[in-house]
């Protein structure tokens, strides 16, 4: 039995080693790398980050510039999950944070079952090649191939926050752990690019169906070495598609970039409805 469900009919998928199939005879072939594509044919095509963007992000993250965030995330997930936990990384990209969290949970003596979902097949392919102990699928975070009440924790790192879908797949006592940039994140990069840089707007108000348990922060500085790494960092930001060619050229003039990294992590749990409170 496989823990993914059929995106067509919602039935459980079974795994014969090469193919996942349901009782209604819908089937999905595994890629050679091991991921499964569960986007419906009507939504197939080029989705998410390209292979070039995935490669740039992979190179930057594997240099561990964002390791402080990975460590803090891992600590938070370990604190808020039970011994035998099911984790879903919603918008997992190439799997950098997914792997760090999984390894930390194992080091803490836990027995995690971890799933990563991303809309980019290039991201899922790279992640599956590198992280064989994690289950990866191509799917939208707004329509994930999991049953109701499936996960002990849903992780969202710089990814779209699909509150209704997170609520659906989350166990009653589960948590959502969301990482996001704070006001001064990469501000020195912005000062280099723009004449009048502005601080990031931060929206850490929980969606209506959740309440915030706590917030954690990390603030420090990094020095990004080399034009290739600086370019890779820039390609990961939302500014990449909004910056003029003239301003982008400014990055080619520097060899090292010292800049702030400022991350917030919110931990949410589902709100208890009034009728549930009465039952208690």
CATH of residue 169's domain is 3.40.50.150
The pLDDT of residue 36 is above 90 = yes
Structure tokens at 116: 């990563």
Res 41 pLDDT > 60: no
Both 6 and 56 in one domain: the answer is no
> At what angle are helices 227-235 and 51-62 packed, to 10 degrees?
120
Same domain, residue pair 147 and 9:
no
Place of tokens 């960092």: 233
> pLDDT of 72-106, one tens digit each?
999 999 999 999 999 999 999 999 999 999 999 99
- Give me the number of domains the chain comprises: 2
Residues 143 and 19 in one domain: no
Mean pLDDT of the 98-122 span: 97
Q: What is the mean pLDDT of residues 126-154?
A: 96
Same-domain pairing of 15 and 91? no
Count Cβ atoms below 10 Å from residue 205 Cβ, excluding itself.
9
- pLDDT of residue 44 exceeding 90, the answer is no
Q: Is 228 within the bounds of a domain?
A: no
Rounded to the nearest integer, the mean pLDDT of the chain is 92
> Strand, helix or coil at 157?
strand
Residue 52: pLDDT band (50, 70, 90) is confident
70 and 114 both lie in a single domain: yes
List the structure tokens of 147. Answer: 């049953």
Separation CA 270–CA 172 (nearest Å): 7
Q: pTM of the entire structure? A: 0.92
Q: What is the predicted pLDDT for the residue at 45? A: 45
Taking a C-beta distance cutoff of 8 angstroms, is the pair 188, 259 a contact?
Answer: yes
What residues have CB less than 8 Å from 222, skipping those under 6 apart?
Answer: 65, 258, 259, 261
Q: Print the domain residue range for 10.
A: 1-30
Question: And the tokens for 180?
Answer: 């996001």
Q: Which SS3 state, helix, strand or coil, does residue 61 take?
A: helix
> Helix, strand, coil: what percent of the chain each, to 5?
35, 30, 40
Average pLDDT value for residue range 54-82: 96
Distance, CA of 163 to CA of 176 (rounded, Å): 9
pLDDT at 40: 80
Q: Are residues 18 and 39 in the same domain?
A: no
pLDDT at position 28 over 50 = yes
CA distance 249 to 193: 9
**Exposure b/e, 91-119, CB count within 10 A at least 16 = b:** bbbbbbbbbbbbebbeeeebebbbbbbbb
pLDDT digits (tens, 9 = 90+) for 162-221: 999 999 999 999 999 999 999 999 999 999 999 999 999 997 778 889 999 999 999 999
* CA-based nearest residue to 43, from 73, 8, 67: 8
Residue 126 and residue 8 share a domain = no
Rounded to an integer, the average pLDDT of 40-63 is 76
Max CA separation in the chain (angstroms): 65
Q: Are strands 19-21 and 36-37 parallel, antiparallel or unpaired?
A: unpaired
For residues 53 and 17, membership in a common domain is answered with: no
The reply to whether 190 falls in a domain is: no
């Amino acid at each position: 039995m496989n823990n993914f469900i059929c995106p067509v009919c919602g039935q459980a998928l079974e795994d014969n080693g090469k193919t996942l199939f349901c009782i209604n005879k819908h089937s999905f072939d595994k890629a050679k790398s091991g991921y499964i594509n569960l986007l419906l044919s009507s939504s197939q095509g080029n989705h998410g980050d390209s292979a070039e963007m995935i490669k740039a992000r992979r190179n930057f993250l594997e240099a561990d510039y964002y390791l402080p965030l990975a460590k803090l995330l891992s600590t938070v997930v370990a604190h808020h999950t039970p011994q035998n936990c099911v984790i879903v990384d919603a918008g997992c990209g190439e799997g950098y944070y997914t792997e760090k969290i999984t390894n930390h949970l194992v080091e803490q003596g836990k027995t995690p079952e971890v799933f990563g979902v991303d809309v980019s097949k290039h991201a899922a392919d790279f992640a599956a090649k590198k992280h064989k102990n994690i289950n990866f699928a191509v799917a939208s975070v707004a329509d994930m191939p999991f049953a109701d009440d499936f996960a002990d924790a849903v992780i969202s790192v710089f990814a779209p926050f699909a509150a209704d879908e997170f609520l659906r797949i989350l166990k009653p006592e589960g948590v959502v752990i969301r990482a996001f940039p704070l006001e001064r994140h990469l501000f020195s990069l912005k000062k280099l690019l723009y004449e009048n840089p502005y601080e990031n707007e931060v929206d850490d108000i929980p969606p209506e169906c959740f309440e915030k348990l706590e917030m954690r922060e990390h603030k420090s500085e990094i020095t990004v070495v080399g034009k290739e790494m600086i370019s890779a960092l820039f390609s990961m930001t939302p500014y990449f598609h909004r910056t003029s060619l003239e301003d982008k050229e400014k990055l080619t003039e520097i060899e090292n970039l010292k800049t702030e990294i400022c991350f917030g992590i919110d931990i949410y749990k589902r709100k208890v409805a009034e009728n549930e409170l009465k039952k208690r």
